Structure 1
Amino acid sequence: MSSRILPALALLVSIGIFFTYVDPIWSGPIAASKAAIASDDQALAAASRYATQQNELATARSAIDPADLTRLSSFLPDSVDNVRLVLDLNALAARSGLSLSNINVTANTASAESANVSASSVGSADLSLSAIGTYAALKTFLGGVEKSERLLDVKDISVKGSDTGVYTYQVQLRLYWLR
């Protein structure tokens, strides 16, 4: 009889040891360690994908001609750069025969169009200026604005008449930059 009780007792003791010692350790710290390892593996895979994508983008950027990158950065700069824009507009106006004054740059926040623009990575601002000159000079100036490397939209032009052929213009432009 003792030959049957001893194996049954050993089985009960082993089941007790399993449920009191092995199972809590296996489902506690070991399971947490496995979950942390799985999370770290996912983060490592994401970092690997990011590094691969970064290398692909760097390769694609290096394939772009530096002159084209320079033109792109002047077309859509990464800051407003009001001073350079005003200097460029003054030089263009001088070549066209216009005299500029009252140049004001204001942030564009009022229109629904700006809400769509601000949701993207492109910012905009409005620029208003006064100009004095002939109609031919204004046409030359606007042609230069149209052909300039800087992205500008002419929003509004108002003209005050004159008997001498020299007019006063109020021009509103919208300029864009990367945020």
Structure 2
Amino acid sequence: MIRLTFPIIFILISIGLFFIYIDPVYSDIQLKISERNEFNNALDKSRELREVRDRLLSLYNTFSTNDLDNLKKLLPDNVDNVRLILDIDYIASTYGMRIKNVTINKKDNREVGVIGPSNKLFESVKLSFSVVSSYDNFIQFVRNIEKSLRVVDITEVSLIQQGDEINNLTYEYRIGLETYWLK
């Protein structure tokens, strides 16, 4: 009987030791190993991102400041309505025009039926103003706006005749345009 009781006691002690100490410690070690692997993966990813950042930064540094200024003017990261109006007024002044009746409406870019934040990378603002000019000067003015660095879409043009003379015909043009900036 004693020959059987000691092995049974040792087996019961080893089973109890397994469930009380070894299994929890082993589970904790497995958890720590998986956390270590996640941290190593995160470190590897951060190294990759750092390499991409360094590569993009070195590419960014190859651009001249003039090119960067032109890029910021083309698609700015904020809306500067005053600067836009001044730029358009400067273009108009080269053709002997002055802009007037300026209105600014921030366009609501939300899609109908969509709840939550927008996934769009840009915003837009609608600007409308009036100029008085001859048809030829107006066409040159519009072409100059098209060639300017700022991205604008002319969305509407309306005109009202100002003079009765056939040789010196002027119109009041109401122009609506939309411009964009990065969020």
The TM-score bracket by the shorter chain reads 0.7 to 0.9
Q: Tell me which amino acid in the other structure corresponds to 1:129.
A: F
Range with bigger deviation, 59-68 or 88-97: 59-68
Partner of 1:163: 164
- 1:3 CA displacement: 6.5
Q: 1:55 to 1:110 in 2, by over 3 A?
A: closer
Q: Tell me which amino acid in the other structure corresponds to 1:32.
A: L
Over 3 Å off, 4+ runs = 1-16
Q: Residues 55-134 of structure 1: matches in 2 within 5 Å?
A: 55-109=54-108, 119-134=119-134
Range with bigger deviation, 57-66 or 94-103: 57-66
| Percent of residue pairs identical | 30
> For 1:92-145, what per-residue CA distance to the aligned partner results, in whole angstroms no more than 9, with x for missing partners?
111112221111111112796xx9xx6431221111001112112212211210
Range with bigger deviation, 167-176 or 36-45: 36-45
- Aligned counterparts of 1:110 and 1:68: Cα–Cα separation in 2: 29
- 1:10 CA displacement: 3.8
Contact 1:102–1:130 under 8 Å retained in 2:
yes
- Aligned counterparts of 2:66 and 2:44: Cα–Cα separation in 1: 36
Contact 2:159–2:171 under 8 Å retained in 1:
yes
Partner of 2:180: 176
- 1:6 CA displacement: 4.7
Contact 2:109–2:124 under 8 Å retained in 1:
no
Q: Tell me which amino acid in the other structure corresponds to 1:175.
A: T
Contact 1:99–1:133 under 8 Å retained in 2:
no
Counterpart check, 1:23 vs 2:23: yes
- How does the TM-score come out when normalised to structure 1? 0.83
- Aligned counterparts of 1:9 and 1:160: Cα–Cα separation in 2: 107
5+ residue gaps in structure 2?
Answer: none
Contact 1:130–1:170 under 8 Å retained in 2:
yes
- Aligned counterparts of 1:111 and 1:36: Cα–Cα separation in 2: 41
5+ residue gaps in structure 1?
Answer: none
When the two chains are superposed, the root-mean-square deviation of aligned CA atoms in Å is: 2.5
- How does the TM-score come out when normalised to structure 2? 0.81
- Aligned counterparts of 1:12 and 1:171: Cα–Cα separation in 2: 92
- Aligned counterparts of 1:111 and 1:54: Cα–Cα separation in 2: 32
- 1:76 CA displacement: 1.0
Would you say how many aligned residue pairs link Structure 1 and Structure 2? 174
